[in-house]
Structure 1
Amino acid sequence: MSEEIPAPQILDELDRSQKFQRVFKDVLAGTFSGVAQVLVGQPFDITKVRLQTHTGHTTAFNVVKDLIKNEGFSAFYKGTLAPLAGVGACVSCQFGVNEAMKRYFHARNGSKIQPLALDQYYACGAVSGAANAFLATPIEHVRIRLQLQRRALTSSEYRGALDCARKLIKQGKLMRGLTATLLRTAHGFGVYFLTYEYLCNVEATRGIKKADIPTWKVCGFGAIAGALFWAMTYPVDVVKSVMQADRLTNPQHGTTIWQVAKTLYREGGVRVFVKGFTPTMLRALPVNGATFAAFEIAMRILN
């Protein structure tokens, strides 16, 4: 009895099903890593935003001390709803698009086994960062507005993430800072994923598969990638934060990246572009270590 050959349409359906499952797993693993990122990084993030938008000289220690004294420990998780709901989507997007781009380049190169070229890894990350910017911009804008509120929630201008988003949409300002975010995330995630994949490929030359890399090493690779992300993009992030924290009408610092950068330089010189850099780097190490560890663990569980 001859072996039956599957009909072409059945093979197509199986192929589509496998592709869908792969994308679903990428997105789900990205969601897990996004939640880990928010829970670990939120206290560092509010400290960074307060430093970046503070007029005059202050230190991370003073910001933390004033937060605890005036607003309590819960202030470190102000605006958490927006990133918790949104960063999962952002990280899912960046990891999902990055994995899809890797598959595209592997197919174009004609090999699923050989590592991509370094510029291809950068391109994968840059495309994922560009896609991510359209999610990150409104989420970060809402988070910054909430983090800068120093009054009780009942008397604040914004009564939570949804109220803030609704009011920003009404004024047509929700996507303020998109260009700056796009510059930061496209280049930043190009460097980010290139660094991580390069370090994983070094392990591969020693005969260690990515699935077999110890979790502590994955954390270390993620920490290095995160540190390089911020080292390469921090001045743009300062400009973005100031744009999103400024008045909604007649902004004090200008309406374009160049105008805001010139105003900031005039007010504080070069130093203004590294305000908050130390807590950001301290945040980058554990946060991105946790992000990649959560993603790789989730992918291994999901096979």
Structure 2
Amino acid sequence: MGENSGYKDYVAGLLAGVATVAIGHPFDTVKVKLQKHNTEAHGVKYRSGLHCTSRILKTEGVKGLYRGATSSFVGVAFESSLLFGIYSRTKLALQGGVQISGPQPQVIIPSAAYGGAIISFVLCPSELVKCRMQIQGTDSLVPKSSRYSSPLNCAVETIKTEGVKGIFRGGCTTLLRESIGNAVFFSVYEYVRYYMHSRVKAASSNHSNLIDMGIGIMTGGLGGVAIYRRAGLKGCYTGLGPTLVRAFPANAAAIVTWELAMKILGIKHD
């Protein structure tokens, strides 16, 4: 990786974040709806994630699945840019500026945990706004007079009524989750990627872009599932099903986009 390619790492990460939201946001909306309505005494009861999805499409259309996506695209794109950029640059620094063949846990884990800790300060307010916008769907119990007109309005009103600490509610938990979660994600990604590439090279000399994409889908998807399986027992988490279903395609899209962007930008990967 060239010395002057630092900004390119952040650009590649930003594109990965856009892909994550485009693929994963509908699943996230369903999860939030299940968590909101199935825990209210007089709320709408959804039998499953599929029932919830069909209800949203019927009452709100496709745009209902992307409710709150504006703040997600901005927040996740910025967060992803920081995460992948910091991870790449920190990993390179810990390796002494030299590309090393084979994953090293003493490099991967601190790089990923550091990146996760930094992005938690962006992710916390972004997630809070996104969830509040998702909850106020057309079939919600939230009265029209109390609805937020936009993600910015939601953020401003939250700060007005709850103060700055209100927009960072749950910050410590988010920091811990992102540090540990990303250490797990990148560890799984790097080890599975190294193993699969080694097997492919041993089996065939024809290493195509299609094979790279397939490996990216598998490594990103498995890394995402490894994170979300840490969420807890199903009985303790309403909406865990859509979260697990989302984990594979959303993270697969992120990794494939990240690796493709790095290749286009001329960034050398280990």
TM-score by length of structure 1 reads 0.75
> Which of 145, 151, 157 lines up with 1:167 in the alignment?
157
For 2:100, the aligned partner's letter is I
Name stretches of at least 5 consecutive residues in structure 1 with no aligned partner.
1-17, 236-269
- Superposition map of 1:254-293 within 5 A: 271-293=234-256
> Which of 174, 177, 183 lines up with 1:184 in the alignment?
177
1:275 Cα deviation from its structure 2 partner: 1.8
Residue in 2 that maps onto 1:39? 22
For 1:69, the aligned partner's letter is K
Number of residues paired by the alignment? 249
> Which of 60, 73, 78 lines up with 2:67 in the alignment?
78
> Which of 1, 26, 39 lines up with 1:55 in the alignment?
39
Greater gyration radius:
1
1:68 Cα deviation from its structure 2 partner: 2.6
Residue in 1 that maps onto 2:229? 231
1:125 Cα deviation from its structure 2 partner: 1.3
Distance in 1 between residues matched to 2:55 and 2:189, nearest whole Å: 37
CA contact (8 A) 2:103 2:194 kept: no
State the SS of the aligned residue for 1:214: helix
**Cα RMSD over matched residues?**
2.6
TM-score by length of structure 2 reads 0.83
CA contact (8 A) 2:16 2:253 kept: yes
CA contact (8 A) 2:6 2:85 kept: yes
Distance in 2 between residues matched to 1:106 and 1:185, nearest whole Å: 23
Identity of aligned residues (%): 31
Residue in 2 that maps onto 1:255? none
Distance in 2 between residues matched to 1:229 and 1:174, nearest whole Å: 25
CA contact (8 A) 1:105 1:120 kept: yes
CA contact (8 A) 1:211 1:300 kept: no
Query: Is 1:199 matched with 2:225?
Result: no
Residue in 2 that maps onto 1:141? 128
For 1:291, the aligned partner's letter is A
1:181 Cα deviation from its structure 2 partner: 1.1
C-alpha change, 1:195 and 1:271, in structure 2 (3 Å) is closer
- Deviation string 1:249-268 (CA, Å, 9 cap, x unpaired) is xxxxxxxxxxxxxxxxxxxx
For 1:215, the aligned partner's letter is M
Residue in 1 that maps onto 2:88? 99
1:52 Cα deviation from its structure 2 partner: 2.5
CA contact (8 A) 2:95 2:107 kept: no
C-alpha change, 1:218 and 1:69, in structure 2 (3 Å) is same
Query: Is 1:67 matched with 2:56?
Result: yes
Distance in 1 between residues matched to 2:212 and 2:197, nearest whole Å: 13
CA contact (8 A) 2:103 2:191 kept: no
1:23 Cα deviation from its structure 2 partner: 1.7
Distance in 2 between residues matched to 1:124 and 1:67, nearest whole Å: 39
State the SS of the aligned residue for 1:283: helix
Residue in 2 that maps onto 1:131? 118
C-alpha change, 1:157 and 1:293, in structure 2 (3 Å) is same
CA contact (8 A) 1:51 1:63 kept: yes
C-alpha change, 1:271 and 1:191, in structure 2 (3 Å) is closer
1:287 Cα deviation from its structure 2 partner: 0.8
CA contact (8 A) 2:16 2:258 kept: yes
Name stretches of at least 5 consecutive residues in structure 2 with no aligned partner.
none
Distance in 1 between residues matched to 2:112 and 2:186, nearest whole Å: 5
State the SS of the aligned residue for 1:136: helix
CA contact (8 A) 1:105 1:116 kept: no
For 1:178, the aligned partner's letter is G
Distance in 2 between residues matched to 1:272 and 1:76, nearest whole Å: 25
C-alpha change, 1:221 and 1:32, in structure 2 (3 Å) is same
1:63 Cα deviation from its structure 2 partner: 1.8
- Superposition map of 1:205-244 within 5 A: 205-206=198-199, 208=201, 214-232=212-230, 234-235=231-232
